[in-house]
Amino acid sequence: MSTQLTMRRPPLPAISITLACVALSLGCGSTNEEDATTTVAEALQAKATLGSSNPTLCWVQDEDSTLSNSAFLSLTDEADAKIVQWQAGSGLEFDFIGRCSGDANSAPANSNYPENIRVHYNEFSRESGYDIPGRGCSRDNGNGNNAYYPGNNDARCEWNATVKSLANNNLLHEIGHAIGMVHEHERSDNTSGCSSSGADNDGVWLTDYDLWSVMHYTSTGCSEHEGLSSKDLLGVEIAYPTSSNVGITHNGLLFDGEFAVLPTSVIQTTWDARGARDFVFDDITWSIAGGNTSANVAVPVSVLLDDGESGSLSVEFDDPWSRTKSGSVPILVSATAHAAMLVQLL
């Protein structure tokens, strides 16, 4: 990857993952995803708030729907099977529970609905102009196809996400917002010419710019894609990791129980190699037990060990939510061993 040199950590990092909306057909990401009076800083702070790694997700049927209960649940089961794509390689695991619980009129005013992500199937593709039912909810339906970020949700509202279509990209985009993902096309380093750019401060996306993200608006002939991109999956993995461990890539070959690497080999985390931005690695330290250390995101192995030396290579850093990540791998810095291993493979 082409690692950026900036090491600053923005005070309000937001989740980086992206979805593509077909122009004029997907109304996701409109200004009603944050309250109109929300400042940029507050909006970024809201986006940086992660939801539960095991969120309950349920569905609200349109009040004018003619679908039977079984037909409605069959449709939503199919939708859940698409939404589950966000889980791949991450610690995120949805708890799909079917129909949402409770009637808006059966509970005291201002009480909360229990589910984390409550999706309204806007069956007749209504646009804005009607209030969301709830227990003291003061929001309207926005553009009829949208979702609220975890840090800006109102649990008194009967639903916090609305979809006009159960198509794969549409679902992934809106649920992406519901787990904290932001619009990719709004970053200032969007030079693709596809959709708007620069609507948010730079430095809050977790990965390098991704034209193919599902969080990126698209139009015919421009950035057309299907499903989650590799950087979408990286972003959700960073935001919702499976554990505190992180992989290390070193371009080495296993030799006598250690990885033989060249003195010129550059060592980096697998997140870095896949496109994570530098600020993801706050206070990063590479070290060899009892040896040298380095605070660079990617480091030549010769900075840590001389040719012919071996040791346990370790890395540790804090992610944007102050969670400590670490990893280690045994290495042998030897051009000779590396060459010998290559001969054995031939």
pLDDT recorded at residue 128: 75
pLDDT recorded at residue 28: 34
Which domains, from first to last, does the chain contain? Answer: 31-239 (3.40.390.10), 248-345 (2.60.40)
Buried b (16+ CB within 10 A) or exposed e, 305-326: beeeebbebbbbbebbeeeebe
In the structure encoding, which two tokens stand for residue 263, read together?
């003195």
Residue-wise pLDDT for 43-76, tens only, equals 444 466 788 999 999 999 988 899 999 999 999 9
Residue-wise pLDDT for 271-289, tens only, equals 999 999 998 999 999 998 7
pLDDT recorded at residue 8: 25
What mean pLDDT, rounded, does the chain reach?
A: 81
Query: In terms of pLDDT, which residue wins out, 25 or 223?
Result: 223
pLDDT recorded at residue 41: 40
DSSP reduced 3-state for 228: coil
**Residue indicated by tokens 């030079």:** 191
Q: How confident is the model over 118-124, as a mean pLDDT?
A: 93
Reported for 302-305, long-range contacts at CB under 8 A and 24+ positions apart, including other chains, are: 302/263, 302/264, 302/333, 304/267, 305/331, 305/333
Share of the chain above pLDDT 90, in %: 47
d(C-alpha 181, C-alpha 175), whole Å: 8
Residue-wise pLDDT for 207-220, tens only, equals 998 888 998 887 66
Residue-wise pLDDT for 84-107, tens only, equals 999 999 999 999 999 998 776 677
pLDDT recorded at residue 201: 47
